[in-house]
Structure 1
Amino acid sequence: MSTTVAVPEGKGLPVCVTGAGGYIGSWLVKTLLENGYTVHATLRDPGNPSKNSCLLSLPGAQERLRLFRADLCEEGSFDSAIHGCHGVFHVATPIDFGSQDPENEIIEPAIRGTLNVLRSCKRIESVRRVVCTSSLSAASTADESAHVDESCWTSLDSIRENKRHGWFYAESKTLAERAALEFGKQEGINVVSIVPPIIAGPFITTTIPASVDATLSLITGNPLWYGLLQSIQFIPNTVSLIHVQDICNAHVFLMEHPAAEGRYLCSGHTTTMPDFAHVISGRYPQYKITSKFDESQSAAAGSISSQKLLDLGFKYKYSLEEIIDDSVQYFQKLTTLN
């Protein structure tokens, strides 16, 4: 398998998206269809209308979208979907913040599933690159003054010691990304990982994505999602966000760019919790934010660098305000928020 040839832009070439029923996966399918790709999309149950309806109704789906059943825990179940594809976007990951057995339901399946997908890619000679979706929770730090870049990896000891809300998600993403990059090196597969922060904005799924729920928890006051927002501050006292279209554009960019290799942090905007609350309340004064913050936290010391990605030529398109606006407007469609 070549480690230097990327997928040419669009031109109807087939690519595979795992986890196409989720937030990123579904929007990535939409983006790829808009860019002229033929898409093989995997779902655990492709016959389930709650998962497939948002995909089958997309422009171009009738001509260039095929749905496949695949399960992360089933060896070889991705072979059919990946067959004939030039590129693979591995987005699928098990996630259940209410899991009572995260070791066996989240962490182990995330690692095994990633390796199952990559072993399928190795068996299929047409694949030229795999882009794996990780998370900034795999590059987080306890240092408030940290400069976070691709060299930073989350300490598993710290995760297990603190066990903050959603700790198992951070562990699963850290271990799965490490496993993907190591497998690529050992097996000669061109594996690129993209490392995003909280993803928000519009969505086409029939349920509200957890990351959008977390982003808007200052408005809704939901303690579960606010707890998640607090737990996924990748640098203490900060909030890092990216628009879903920007992260999907970055996926396609890294698939297409011939020089892409290794790990890429992709963080659109980083701000402090007090400043984030001020932006929301300034744009939506009708919603009362009851959470209290230490205003001294407004002097953010840490930073999250996307310089490696920017040096390759990628450009962000969406502002923090646009992320908030799109999230609120789509959230309103499925809730009583008004």
Structure 2
Amino acid sequence: MNKSTILVTGGSGYLGSWVVKGLLEKGYTVRIAVRDKNNTKKVSHLHDIAANAKGNIELWEADLLKEGSFDAAAKGCETIYHMASPFMLDVKNPQKDLVDPALIGTRNVLNAATRSETVTRVVLTSSVVAIMGDNTDLQERGVDALDERFFNESSSLTHQPYSYSKVLAEKEAWKMEKEQEQWKLVVLNPSFVMGPTLTPSTDSESLNFMKQFLGGQMFMAPDLTFGWVDVRDVAKAHILAGENQEAEGRHLLAENTYTVLQVGSILRKVFGKKYLLPKYQAPKFMLYLTGWMFGLSTTYVKKNVGIPLKLNNTKSLTLGLTYTPIEKTMTDMVNQMETLQLIK
């Protein structure tokens, strides 16, 4: 068994690429689980990173929905980072497109960890939406800020199905951890992940949001408050959670919470009038009438628009994490998008 070998699912994605980069720079041998090893386009950027790093990468084929397909890749690994789970907000079949890959995929990866006989730690990428479903959860819980004590109980297949998929998958992971004694589970719950990308793919929800934001599609900002966090900080948290043997439980990752309008103001200070950033906040009644154009249901508008949100990130600091200010996160992201000509 090679103690320095790590398996990463979702390693070619927006967040996963940063995690793989960090692991390679530390000298690990990183096994990346992909559906098709011959699709070099998705992993060519990781080979480039590995060429200038101390570690090595290996490609292993696996399918989230296929029982046993991760077994070979997990054998001989000490740690698994399970990040592969679809992040799509506009889906026609939420059970097939979101819940099944998240839930069945988690079962398959964690069963492979148990069958490996070598894996001692699993780091799972969950989400803040496994903690909360709507901003009204803060009021309903009767607390000043939401933290790792809470699980999302308000999402379903018909209301916020992505959030529903994440809470189901995380609960299943905790259930499976209790049923065995070989490996320890550590969970990370990032809020809205933003920042520069390493992958040539341009279809991440984070990049799509920024394109719409800069392009004037939110000329009047909805009064929505989110937690925001830098992708590089989330990647660092993953590596710290994997290496620190004292790390345990869940970790909510957020630099802070901001409204969409506040983020627009931050970007305007840097880029001036270069982009059609929102200057005004849309009244809630307007979103009841027009929200469907942006994929916002009346239930979502009722439970989130104009509702404040506070998140407590204190536990994540015990990992040794220091958060990047949102100004730097957003500026770095836009500057890179300009360089890559991703902004029209």
Q: Which runs of 4+ in 1 moved over 6 A?
A: none
More displaced stretch, 122-131 vs 301-310: 301-310
TM-score (norm 2): 0.83
Q: Which residues in structure 2 correspond to 1:297-312 (within 5 Å)? A: 302-310=309-317, 312=318
Q: Deviations over 1:78-102 (max 9, x none)?
A: 1122111110000001344443212
Q: In structure 1, give the amino acid aligned to 2:324.
A: Y
More displaced stretch, 206-215 vs 123-132: 206-215
Contact preservation (8 Å) 1:16, 1:85: yes
What residue in structure 2 maps to residue 185 of structure 1? 178
Q: Which residues in structure 2 correspond to 1:12-91 (within 5 Å)? A: 13-60=4-51, 64-91=56-83
What residue in structure 2 maps to residue 150 of structure 1? 148
Alpha-carbon distance in structure 2 between the residues aligned to 1:15 and 1:214 = 32
**Deviation of the 1:294 alpha carbon:** 6.2
The structure 2 residue matched to 1:335, chosen from 309, 325, 341, is 341
More displaced stretch, 179-188 vs 93-102: 93-102
**Deviation of the 1:68 alpha carbon:** 0.9
What residue in structure 2 maps to residue 136 of structure 1? 128
Q: Percent identity?
A: 31
The structure 2 residue matched to 1:242, chosen from 229, 239, 243, is 229
Alpha-carbon distance in structure 1 between the residues aligned to 2:177 and 2:123 = 11
The structure 2 residue matched to 1:175, chosen from 152, 168, 172, is 168
**Deviation of the 1:118 alpha carbon:** 0.2
Give the direction of change, closer, same or farther, for the CA distance of 1:55–1:313 in structure 2 (3 Å limit).
Answer: closer
Structure 2 residue runs of 5 or longer lacking an equivalent are 284-303
Contact preservation (8 Å) 1:99, 1:105: yes
Q: In structure 2, give the amino acid aligned to 1:237.
A: L
**Deviation of the 1:71 alpha carbon:** 0.7
Contact preservation (8 Å) 1:239, 1:276: no
Q: In structure 2, give the amino acid aligned to 1:293.
A: Q
Give the direction of change, closer, same or farther, for the CA distance of 1:35–1:222 in structure 2 (3 Å limit).
Answer: farther
Alpha-carbon distance in structure 2 between the residues aligned to 1:152 and 1:284 = 38
Size of the aligned set, in residue pairs, is 313
**Deviation of the 1:220 alpha carbon:** 2.1
**Deviation of the 1:216 alpha carbon:** 4.8
**Deviation of the 1:334 alpha carbon:** 3.6
Three-state SS of the structure 2 residue aligned to 1:249 is helix
**Deviation of the 1:205 alpha carbon:** 1.3
Alpha-carbon distance in structure 2 between the residues aligned to 1:139 and 1:175 = 11
**Deviation of the 1:273 alpha carbon:** 2.4
What residue in structure 2 maps to residue 101 of structure 1? 93
Give the direction of change, closer, same or farther, for the CA distance of 1:280–1:218 in structure 2 (3 Å limit).
Answer: same
Q: In structure 2, give the amino acid aligned to 1:178.
A: K
Contact preservation (8 Å) 1:196, 1:267: yes
Q: Deviations over 1:32-68 (max 9, x none)?
A: 1011211011111221122011111113469611011
Alpha-carbon distance in structure 1 between the residues aligned to 2:55 and 2:254 = 34
Q: Deviations over 1:207-252 (max 9, x none)?
A: 22211322453212347xx99x97xxxxx83132111111011001
TM-score (norm 1): 0.84
What residue in structure 2 maps to residue 5 of structure 1? none
Q: Deviations over 1:94-119 (max 9, x none)?
A: 34444321212221221010010000
Give the direction of change, closer, same or farther, for the CA distance of 1:318–1:216 in structure 2 (3 Å limit).
Answer: farther
Contact preservation (8 Å) 2:86, 2:102: yes
The structure 2 residue matched to 1:289, chosen from 274, 277, 280, is 277
What value does the CA root-mean-square deviation take over the aligned residues? 2.8
Give the direction of change, closer, same or farther, for the CA distance of 1:284–1:239 in structure 2 (3 Å limit).
Answer: farther
Alpha-carbon distance in structure 2 between the residues aligned to 1:28 and 1:139 = 23
Give the direction of change, closer, same or farther, for the CA distance of 1:244–1:219 in structure 2 (3 Å limit).
Answer: same
Alpha-carbon distance in structure 2 between the residues aligned to 1:261 and 1:335 = 41
Give the direction of change, closer, same or farther, for the CA distance of 1:192–1:284 in structure 2 (3 Å limit).
Answer: same
